[in-house]
Amino acid sequence: LAAACARDITVTEVTFCNSISVAEHVVMMILGLVRNYIPSYKIAASGGWNIADCVSRSYDVEGMHIGTVAAGRIGLAVLKRMAPFDCHLHYCDRHRLSPEIEKEYNLIYHESAEDMVPHCDVVTINCPLHPETEHMFDDAMINKMKRGAYIVNTARGKICDRDAIAAALRNGQLAGYAGDVWFPQPPPKDHPWRSMPHEAMTPHISGTTLSAQARYAAGVREILENFFDGKPIRDEYLITQGGALAGVGAHSYSEGNATGGSEEAVKFKE
In the residue annotation, 65 being an active-site residue is answered as no
Which residue from 179, 181, 186, 171 is spatially nearest to 200, judged by alpha carbons? Answer: 179
Spatial contact of 30 and 66, defined as CB atoms under 8 Å apart: yes
Spatial contact of 69 and 87, defined as CB atoms under 8 Å apart: no
Of the candidates 65, 90, 156, 162, the residue annotated as catalytic is 156
Note every long-range contact of 25-28, with CB atoms under 8 Å and residues 24 or more positions apart, other chains counting: 25/154, 25/180, 25/202, 25/205, 25/206, 25/207, 26/74, 26/78, 26/124, 26/126, 26/152, 26/154, 26/206, 27/78, 27/81, 27/82
Of the candidates 81, 88, 119, 185, the residue annotated as catalytic is 185
Of the candidates 18, 153, 173, 241, the residue annotated as catalytic is 18
For 129-160, b where at least 16 C-beta lie within 10 A, e where not — what string? bbeebbbbbeeebbeebbeebbbbbbbbbbbb
Spatial contact of 101 and 107, defined as CB atoms under 8 Å apart: yes
In the residue annotation, 185 being an active-site residue is answered as yes
In the residue annotation, 173 being an active-site residue is answered as no
> Distance between CA 204 and CA 122 in Å, rounded?
20
SS3 65: strand
Of the candidates 135, 204, 234, 251, the residue annotated as catalytic is 204
Which residue from 160, 147, 180 is spatially nearest to 23, judged by alpha carbons? Answer: 180
Spatial contact of 236 and 5, defined as CB atoms under 8 Å apart: no
In the residue annotation, 204 being an active-site residue is answered as yes
Active site residues: 18, 156, 185, 204
